[in-house]
Structure 1
Amino acid sequence: MPEISSLVRRAALTHNDNHFNYEKTHNFKVHTFRGPHWCEYCANFMWGLIAQGVRCSDCGLNVHKQCSKHVPNDCQPDLKRIKKVYCCDLTTLVKAHNTQRPMVVDICIREIEARGLKSEGLYRVSGFTEHIEDVKMAFDRDGEKADISANVYPDINIITGALKLYFRDLPIPVITYDTYSKFIDAAKISNADERLEAVHEVLMLLPPAHYETLRYLMIHLKKVTMNEKDNFMNAENLGIVFGPTLMRPPEDSTLTTLHDMRYQKLIVQILIENEDVLF
């Protein structure tokens, strides 16, 4: 019953647009507190002069080291602590901004769909690296107020480059390290229907923020393929571009990466061609 579970998942994700129940673990680091401090989990005093406990660097929760093992996955990141947009964990970013997806993804896709869908070689042609870095800095500095309009960046390839860079810079890829090998195994199945079923099952294992980001991106890439006669970008071409951008093997091995490239391409191609069924 893949369609039903997918519908349930989608209903759960879009249930309430203002509050997204994406679970997030705390990012605890050993901390030295100045002056007396109490644990916010057990309410007992933190003893010692240095390294008395741990603090979550995303939300600021202070607890005993032993208490940190029992704290629920209810971290609500504080925007004041999240210094940048790029290179920030995906779930952390969406929880800090209280959005369904990273706003970089929304803003870039909106801009690309407004003026770039017919652009030849969309996503394959590279924009100037320094201009792409400018866009990255604008998002890090100004967040959703970043101006990426045609007045500032007339070349749409700068915007596509900035979007691809965002995905490449994620500490955990959109297709997570945990699901990577399962997706590769699914791609190796020769029967097309069984392969699609296997891909769908692995999709369900993605964290909600990753699933939602991937879903939104695939709907967009499907629109790109619908303009293939102008942009010359079909699902296979986009798979070549986005395979290594969206999924990386857990161990940093050049050999594994080279060996898996055709399966990475195939996974993205399948996701684009079947986005209406899979998501």
Structure 2
Amino acid sequence: FSLRTDKFYQCFSFLLSVYQLQQEAPRPKRVTCPQEMETRPKYYGREFHGMIPREYADQLLAGVEGAYLIRESQRQPGTHTLALRFGDQTLNYRLFYDGKHFVGEKRFESVHDLVTDALITLYIETKAAEYIAKMTTNPIYEHLGYTSLIKDKMVHRLSRARSEPRRVTFQREERVSFISSPLLRRSALKDTPEKQCSYEKIHNFKVHTFRGPHWCEYCANFMWGLIAQGVRCSDCGLNVHKQCSKLVPSDCQPDLRRIKKVFSCDLTTLVKAHNTMRPMVVDMCIREIELRGMKSEGLYRVSGFSEHIEDVRLSFDRDGEKVDISASAYADINIIAGALKLYFRDLPIPVITFDLYSTFIQAAKIPNAECRLEAIHEGLLQLPPAHYETLRYLMAHLRRVTMFEKYNLMSAENLGIVFGPTLMQAPEQNALTTLNDMRQQKLVVQLMIEHEDVLF
């Protein structure tokens, strides 16, 4: 750490004090019912006392810190209440069971574990309330300079990639667009590269149970509790308190060891994990298609054998960029084209994201051609950088495909029909909505292909 020594020891002493508080928390003491209860649910033990008044439960628990029992509510028969003694008073919580026991969002294998966790939390929050309130005011995360370090590294890498000469695979015809000057000026000024250099990704936090003492990597404080003490990012492994997770910057750096597959993986996650501008599966498939398939009749429309496409998917998941998709492995180029389409279909968030779906659909409905392209361009600028870069690269490729239309019979309109539903999916999986939007989906992709040089 780059903290001064005195500050480090000050923080460390606080960590030990919170850990010590957990060790000092009252231990659960089950108050058992002296008689067998015929109405006792099978998932409760002798701590179940049946339908007893709240006052009687209070008497049974009086004077014993950490004592607990379960009673059935008199006002709402069939519902159960956990009565717990803490701080010289009886606390009552509505108790639930769905295969595990829970009062709030944490779920426990046994009532004893639930009570243990509750006593730890109550004790620490009572003894260290002021300290807990200040935990996030001076986080160690910011002292490490992690955020700025990652951002500088990403900007440098992408700037270097953009400065390299662009390799043009096929000669493209010069044409005069009917688009008016504002869009042309913005395209010429290259407004978008700055946006593309900020490949930010939010952390994918999930509740996690830590074995043994654990400390938050944001505020450097002890993570207390019996289970579900905090959250862990499943992409980069960052461990933080749940309350700290709301303050962590969007600077997740996915760890390849945690990324188990290529297909069905979030696009930004895959790009950042492999340290590339676009998913390598997109680059590799397009490179192979442009090498040997541009004159293939029905390219992207004709399907390859599904079992072979599935084999390509499994190979990418297993071998990553080392996969062999050459003609010696898959002679039919439609297999590679099918695998590329499958990759886009399997994305958990489509290339044109759920959030922007309606933006593009509404843009396609604009009757004026010039305004329609302006609206599509504005939508493109709102895409996450990795999505924008992937879409830009794909549209440039599809534009080159249309240059061989007399051989492959694939016009921009035909490719729009194929790729519309692949790149755009309605947030709500409604068959009627999808059917009604097909024309707009096709038109959006068609226009992006035809005006790729201006829109991107």
What is residue 103 of structure 1 aligned with on the other side? 280
Give the alignment partner of residue 197 of structure 1, picking from 374, 393, 416: 374
Question: How many Å separate the matches in 1 of 2:195 and 2:288?
Answer: 24
C-alpha distance in 1 between matches for 2:390 and 2:368:
28
The number of aligned residues is 274
Q: Distance in 1 between matches of 2:374 and 2:193?
A: 20
Q: Which amino acid aligns with 2:330?
A: Y
**Paired position in structure 2 for 1:141:** 318
User: Which residue of structure 1 lines up, in the alignment, with residue 194 of structure 2?
Assistant: 12
Counterpart of 1:74 in structure 2 is 251
Q: 1:4 to 1:92 in 2, by over 3 A?
A: farther
Cα separation, 2, equivalents of 1:267 and 1:90: 21
Separation in 1, partners of 2:226, 2:374: 56
Quote the offset at 1:249 in angstroms.
Answer: 0.4
Aligned-residue identity in percent:
77
Q: Does 1:46 align with 2:228?
A: no
Alpha-carbon distance in structure 2 between the residues aligned to 1:8 and 1:42: 40
Shift of 1:11: 3.2
Q: Which residue of 2 aligns with 1:263?
A: 440
Task: Give 1:243's aligned residue.
Answer: 420
> Deviations for 1:202-225, whole angstroms, at most 9, x for unmatched residues?
110100000000000000000000
Select which of 360, 374, 382 maps to 1:183.
360
The aligned counterpart of 1:119 is 296
The one-letter amino acid paired with 1:232 is L
Deviations 1:240-265 (A, max 9, x none): 00000000000000000000000000
Q: Alignment partner of 2:242: what SS?
A: coil
Is 1:34 equivalent to 2:216 in the alignment? Answer: no
Q: 1:199 and 1:156 mapped to 2: Cα distance?
A: 31
Correspondence 1:143-158 to 2 at 5 A: 143-158=320-335
Aligned to 1:253: 430
Match among 90, 93, 102 for residue 270 of structure 2: 93
Structure 2 CA distance for aligned equivalents of residues 22 and 156 of structure 1: 32
- 1:182 and 1:21 map into 2 onto residues whose CA distance is 22
String of CA shifts for 1:23-43, please: whole Å, max 9, x gaps: 000000100101110000011
Task: Decide whether aligned partners of structure 1 residues 5 and 65 sit closer, same or farther in structure 2, where only a CA change above 3 A counts.
Answer: farther
Aligned-partner Cα distance in 2 for 1:173–1:58: 19
- Do the aligned residues in 1 keep the contact of 2:285 with 2:336 (CA within 8 Å)? yes
Structure 2: distance between partners of 1:3 and 1:207 = 22
- CA distance, structure 2, for counterparts of residue 219 and residue 36 of structure 1: 52
Partner Cα separation in structure 2 for residue 226 and residue 8 of structure 1: 25
* CA distance in 2: counterparts of 1:12 and 1:147, whole angstroms: 35
More strand by share: 2
TM-score by length of 2: 0.59
Tell me which stretches of 4 or more aligned residues in structure 1 moved more than 6 Å.
Answer: none
Q: 1:206 is matched with which residue?
A: 383
Cα shift at 1:49: 1.3
In the TM superposition, what is the alpha-carbon distance from 1:234 to its structure 2 partner?
0.1
Alpha-carbon offset, residue 107 of structure 1? 0.1
Q: Looking at CA atoms only, which structure, 1 or 2, has the larger radius of gyration?
A: 2
**Contact between 2:214 and 2:223, CA under 8 Å: does it hold in 1?**
yes
| One-letter identity of the residue aligned with 2:193 | A
